[in-house]
Amino acid sequence: MYAGGVLKRVDGLTYDRLRYFVRAGYVRPRKIKRKSLYYSDFSEEDVELIKRAWEFISRGDVRTGAAFKRTREKAKDPQLTLNLRTRPKNSDA
């Protein structure tokens, strides 16, 4: 997924802030070359990492580095997952 797709899925995130995350090494998207230009290709896991870290950052709870560190630590918890592709079943109860 290119940067535009990430920005559509993460409310309030700007292109400049996303570029900062990549330049600082918080996220390492795959690079794709088209003609003479390189584009960042973000995985679903990258997008979920950015989305969850952005929630901490935008609320003002923590700084950028700490937000990504906290998000990665929570992702290691076996009860939590960054993979949100599967939706919970609706319960009628």
Q: What is the mean pLDDT of residues 31-59?
A: 93
Q: How confident is the model over 46-67, as a mean pLDDT?
A: 92
The average pLDDT across 1-11 equals 94
Q: Is residue 49 part of a domain?
A: yes
Q: Is pLDDT of 93 > 50?
A: no
Residue 44: domain span: 3-76
Task: List Cβ neighbours of 55 (8 Å cut-off, separation of 6 or more).
Answer: none
Asked if residue 38 is part of any domain, the answer here is: yes
Q: Return the closest-CA partner of residue 64 out of 7, 13, 30.
A: 13
* Counted domains in the chain: 1
